[in-house]
Amino acid sequence: MTAVPSHKSQLVELSADALRSRLYEALGLYVTAMGYPKGTAEQRAPMWLAHMLRDGWRCVAAVDQNDELTGICYGYRGAPGQWWHEQVRRGVIELAGPGVADEWMRDYFELTELHVRPDSQGRGTGERLLRMLLDNVPNDRVLLSTPEGRTRAWSLYRRVGFVDVLRNYRFAGDPRPFAVLGRQLPMSSS
């Protein structure tokens, strides 16, 4: 676990074993940050555990002085056959054609989760987590999906240079519209 000081919270890189040991704490943060119903953590736990086995998986967390998680961020190398990859590829092909889908999705890192506890938001934690996670990622691009609407997450992604790849997309099993955003890597220090 590598630590980097960060204002009131400290950023730490978590191994898969370290995240497994804090999985329900991390999922509780996720459920709270997203406003999901009780029971979502149990539903998502197997998915998060499976993600930890994917090529290029990495995770960064923010912890407070009591060693409680205030933020969590993870992702991995996107690849054909993964659920999210196939959903997004289909949507981009429908919107812009296979050439655009191939360009965005040939070598990308999927930013799968980025969540900050509501009482810790607005302090730059999300951006610090994002930058630390993406530092030295070997992929050409990073892609993510986020619910449509004006949120702190949306503002963060725009501020650090993410552009529209696909808008108002509906993933199978979720009625909300999502935006798929992407940007070139590496991220600049600005």
pLDDT tens for 17-43 read 999 999 999 999 999 998 888 889 999
What is the arithmetic mean of pLDDT over 71-90?
97
* Cα separation, 83 vs 10, whole angstroms: 33
pLDDT band (50, 70, 90) for residue 172:
confident
Q: What is the pLDDT of residue 6?
A: 41
Q: What are phi and psi of 121, to 5 degrees?
A: -75, 160
Alpha-carbon distance 57 to 131, whole Å? Answer: 15
What pLDDT sits at residue 173?
80
The one catalytic residue among 30, 76, 157, 169: 157
Mean pLDDT estimate for the chain: 93
Assign 74 a pLDDT band (cuts: 50, 70, 90). Answer: very high
CATH of the domain spanning 2-184, picked from 3.40.980.10, 3.40.50.150, 3.40.50.1000, 3.40.630.30? 3.40.630.30
CA 188 to CA 176: how far, in whole Å?
32
The pTM for the full model equals 0.91
pLDDT surpassing 80 at residue 80: yes
The answer to whether 157 is a known catalytic residue is yes
Non-local (6+) Cβ contacts of 63 within 8 A are: 9, 10, 12, 69, 70
Q: What percent of the chain has pLDDT over 90?
A: 83
Give percent of the chain with pLDDT exceeding 70: 95
Task: Give the number of other Cβ atoms within 10 Å of residue 172's Cβ.
Answer: 8
